[in-house]
Structure 1
């Protein structure tokens, strides 16, 4: 099963995240099938490729709760 989830980047206590599509059985920072966004919790910066996310959801991928929250927040601001 495919999941759309966060991949941690950055140094200690200065984390930023990429939003990726990955098999649910792979580790958190494993090789992604596709990178579809970016989230920086320190600056509250969020970039999402909405078309890519929607196409992956139609293929059967599932959002994690954090990514679902970020997506809802981004769609409400547009």
Structure 2
């Protein structure tokens, strides 16, 4: 199964991430299929190819939770519906 993940690059404590498509079970520093963009969490800047993301999602790739949040900010995906908590009485 394919997944859209964040692949860490850069120095220690100055990490940036590449948004890549890879097998769900493969290591983060392992082989990836396609590079979709980048993310810098320190400055909250990112550049993601929306066309490629839509193509891979239509082909069955599932984004991780963190990538899904970034895609919602980019306007590629809609935010998932939040579950309501039901408390016991």
Q: Identify, as 1 or 2, the structure richer in strand.
A: 1
Structure 2 match to 1:2: 2
Q: TM-score, normalised by structure 2?
A: 0.81
TM-score, normalisation: structure 1: 0.92
The Cα of 1:12 is off from its aligned counterpart by 0.8
Structure 1 residue runs of 5 or longer lacking an equivalent are none
CA RMSD after TM alignment: 1.2
Task: After TM superposition, list the pairs within 5 Å mapping 1:1-78 onto structure 2.
Answer: 1-75=1-75
Equivalents in 2 of 1:47, 1:57: separation in Å? 17
Tell me the SS of whatever aligns to 1:25.
Answer: coil
Greater alpha carbon shift after TM alignment, 67-76 vs 9-18: 67-76
- Size of the aligned set, in residue pairs, is 76
CA drift of 1:39 comes to 0.1
Poorly superposed stretches of 4+, deviation over 6 Å: none
Higher relative contact order (CA 8 A, sep 6+): 1
Give the helix-richer structure, 1 or 2: 1
